[in-house]
């Protein structure tokens, strides 16, 4: 079953990219007591993800924070080292990278996709959401191959 607006996020473990190395975080702890903008990409370093999706949140970071977003997090079914390299290459200061290497988080959300025809296996769909104290306040899931409603610009219009 796919997560819906108003639902509490399911328990899962993500790996946060930090200066000191990968750090496991439980979603129940990470999202507790704050308002977080989360966006999911099918893969770090993939074309739309690198050229448009991550840059939209980098460019709109301050505007999102001015609207009450306390943290902005990117997630993908990639390992923490890939996510860290992607953040560094993109200059994604102020964006928290949360690796979902085994796809546990997107599976629990019901937001997986089959990227097998591209040699990518099971990945997360492209989406964004606002999570307020562990509850989904906004959810924007893209149609396959699209990039519109999961952008930072779209999210700003919802806040």
**Beta-strand runs (E) in the chain:** 13-16, 23-26, 35-40, 71-76, 95-99, 112-114, 122-124, 127-132, 135-141
- Given a contact cutoff of 8 angstroms between Cβ atoms, the answer to whether 42 and 125 are in contact is yes
| Residues identified as active-site | 49
| Burial call 57-67: b when 16+ CB within 10 Å, e when fewer | bbebbeebeee
* d(C-alpha 84, C-alpha 99), whole Å: 9
């Amino acid at each position: 079953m796919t997560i819906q607006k108003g639902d509490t996020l399911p328990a899962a473990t993500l790996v946060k990219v930090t200066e000191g190395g990968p750090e496991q975080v439980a979603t129940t702890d990470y999202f507790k007591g704050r308002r977080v903008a989360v966006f999911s990409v099918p893969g770090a370093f993939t074309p739309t993800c690198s050229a448009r999706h991550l840059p939209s949140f980098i460019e709109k970071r301050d505007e999102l924070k001015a609207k009450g977003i306390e943290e902005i997090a990117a997630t993908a079914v990639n390992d923490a080292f890939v996510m860290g390299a992607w953040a560094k290459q993109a200059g994604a200061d102020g964006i928290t990278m949360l690796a979902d290497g085994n796809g546990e988080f997107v599976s629990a959300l019901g937001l997986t996709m089959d990227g097998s025809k591209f040699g990518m296996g099971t990945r997360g769909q492209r989406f964004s959401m606002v999570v307020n104290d562990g509850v989904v306040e906004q959810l924007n899931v893209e149609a396959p191959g699209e990039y519109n409603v999961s952008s930072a610009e779209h999210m700003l219009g919802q806040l």
